[in-house]
Structure 1
Amino acid sequence: MSYAEINGLSLYYEEHGPEAGGLLLLLHGGFGSGESFAPLLPDLARHRRVVTVDLQGHGRTADIDRPLRAALMADDVAALVGHLGRARADVLGYSMGAKVALRTAVQHPGVVGRVVLVSAVARRDGWFPEVLAGMDAMSEDAAAPMKQTPLYELYERVAPRPQDWPALVRKTAEMLQESYDWTQEVAAVTAPVLLVYADCDSVRPAHMAEFFGLLGGGLRDAVWDGSGRTTQSRLAVLPGTSHYDIMASPGLSPAVLRFLDEAKG
């Protein structure tokens, strides 16, 4: 359990697994923390060095006077890789953390090896319309009712300044309402990417396919020996899951490990 002084942040992180293993960073979703990856750690950290990160204003990382933006947090992630004494790392992110992981691959291609994006979109309208409507309706006024949720229970238990909760809700709302279209940048990503979705995700299925296509996938038949594959990126859709429980899916760890282990072959 450590803090890295990075970009004006005291960024909290925890290390798991053998020091000699390849480095894998885990980036949590909105209002979460590195603790959300506890079910995955036994599998992921068996043969690699796994680092869970509490992003700006989340978990044990106190907020600072800057907006909550994926691009800024991506700079933090890249700086953390250097702080850990590594040249590059694989990165796995879920939801908000997937946005950060994607921006890290875009902004710092030399730092990223393989990327796993769980429930990610390449542009804002990749979410279902009703999901976007909920994002647009969110404001700091939601801070009080959200205190009845497990998300706040976690925050109150570990945050350095629990009184910052309303500010986190406000900054999260502002981030969710920001318009973005990263499709051109996605098409230029050189790192192999595994896209993982629930079969009942908050992301439109048509956008899942579009995102995979931007990475060069799904463009033609692979033929019998796989020689027709057009990309090192992969797409996985986990059955019987939603955006809200995908991290607990028993299919997630095997899909991630198979993808990460492809680099060894």
Structure 2
Amino acid sequence: MSYADVNGVRLWHEIHGSGRPLVLLHGGYGSVEMFAPVLPALAAHRQVIAVDLQGHGRTADLDRPLRYESMADDVAALLRHLDLPGADLLGYSLGGGVALRTAIQHPELVRRLVLVSTPCRRLGWYAEVLAAMATQDERVGEQMRGTPPHELYARVAPRPEDWPKLWAKTGDLLRREYDWSAEVAALAMPVMLVFADADSVPVSHMAEFFGLLGGGHRDAGWDGSDRPAARLAVLPGLTHYDIVTSPALPAAVLPFLTHEVRSPA
């Protein structure tokens, strides 16, 4: 458990277990603790590197906007710092956007990619979720004082007084339009998409995203020879907010990470 000075940021990361490296990237307003319920199952099979992103957890903010692209560069710089080429990435929600941008911007560093409850374009969220994102600012951050995410932040953050600032910068990020569809379609590494069946992302976008990765276009054939390299899992009885703590998540993800997967043509 230590800091790495990379890409202009002092990035907190924790390493658990042994084996092929798997990088975990948490969701918005979270930290490495977000993965605590599933970490033992993942670390039993992999060397897990859990990261606190810019302004989150034990990683202090710095004088730059919060952007998926710059945080992806942070993750890439950490992988190089740790000499971990060919790592697997698993990102959840906001961390999924960072993981996806890391794969797009630094494909040579990513072996396999798992995106949990993550759309590939901003309009992939439900309209009511986008409306809630649009309201996030310092005022809402103040209203969130005393909640479990704030209590954790107050306990571990280098500057606990930055909590409202994190909400303002995150709100600015979440209001920005993006559509990474063309870049997703060009990804060469195997990708797994994992969603809850009551997620903040509609099933129609799940299918669209999977289609961009080569999935859902044809029958796999009796012997599975036409099965795509991409995988899609929709986990039952879960939501966007509890999928990351469910034992169903590592149960779905570990076979994809450990089994041989045919690379896309």
Contact 2:24–2:91 (CA under 8 A) maintained in structure 1: yes
Within the alignment, does 1:239 sit opposite 2:236 as a pair?
yes
Does residue 192 of structure 1 match 2:190? yes
Shift of residue 60, structure 1, vs aligned partner: 0.3
1:48-81 CA distances to partner (integer Å, 9 max, x unpaired)? 2111000000000000000111110000111111
Partners in 2 of 1:184 and 1:264 — Cα distance? Answer: 23
Residue type at the aligned position of 1:166: P
Deviation (angstroms), 1:264: 8.0
Q: Tell me the equivalent position of 2:220.
A: 222
Instruction: Tell me the residue number matched to 1:104.
Output: 102
Q: Which moved more, 1:79-88 or 1:49-58?
A: 79-88
Query: Is this contact kept in 1: 2:23–2:87, CA < 8 A?
Result: yes
Q: TM-score, normalised by structure 1?
A: 0.97
Structure 1 distance, partners of 2:136, 2:157, is 22
**1:83-122 alignment, distance < 5 Å:** 83-122=81-120
Match of 2:74 among 58, 67, 76: 76
Which runs of structure 2 are paired with 1:45-64 in the superposition (5 Å)? 45-64=43-62
Q: Distance in 2 between matches of 1:87 and 1:128?
A: 35
Residue 211 of structure 1 aligns with an amino acid whose one-letter code is F
Please name the residue that 1:209 is paired with. 207
Cα separation, 1, equivalents of 2:137 and 2:125: 19
Q: Name the residue aligned to 1:7.
A: 7
CA distance in 1, matches of 2:260, 2:62: 37
CA distance in 2, matches of 1:49, 1:250: 18
- The amino acid that maps onto 1:175 is L
Code of the residue aligned with 1:13 in structure 2: it is H
C-alpha deviations, 1:181-207, integer Å up to 9, x for none?
Answer: 110011011111110000000001100
CA distance in 1, matches of 2:122, 2:179: 6
Structure 1, residues 85-143: CA drift from partner, whole Å, max 9, x if none? 22221000000000000000100000000000000111101000000111112222111
- What SS does structure 2 have at the residue aligned with 1:4? strand
CA drift of 1:148 comes to: 2.8
Aligned to 2:139: 141
CA distance in 2 between counterparts of 1:129 and 1:118 reads 19
1:257 aligns with 254
Q: Which residue of 2 aligns with 1:16?
A: 16
In 1: Cα distance, 2:254 partner to 2:94 partner? 21
Instruction: Give the total of aligned pairs.
Output: 262
Q: Confirm or deny that 1:248 pairs with 2:245.
A: yes
Q: Amino acid of the residue matched to residue 112 of structure 1? A: V
How many Å separate the matches in 2 of 1:170 and 1:137?
10
Structure 1, unaligned stretches of length 5 or more? none
SS of match in other structure, 2:108: coil
The 2-side partners of 1:237 and 1:138 are apart by 28
Q: What displacement does 1:159 show?
A: 0.2
Q: Does 1:158 align with 2:156?
A: yes
Select the residue among 169, 178, 190 that pairs with 2:176. 178
Which runs of no fewer than 5 residues in structure 2 stay unpaired? none
Q: TM-score, normalised by structure 2?
A: 0.97
The residue type paired with residue 2 of structure 1 is S
Q: Deviations over 1:141-162 (max 9, x none)?
A: 1111111311101100100000
Q: After the TM superposition, which parts of structure 1 deviate over 3 Å for at least 4 consecutive aligned residues?
A: none
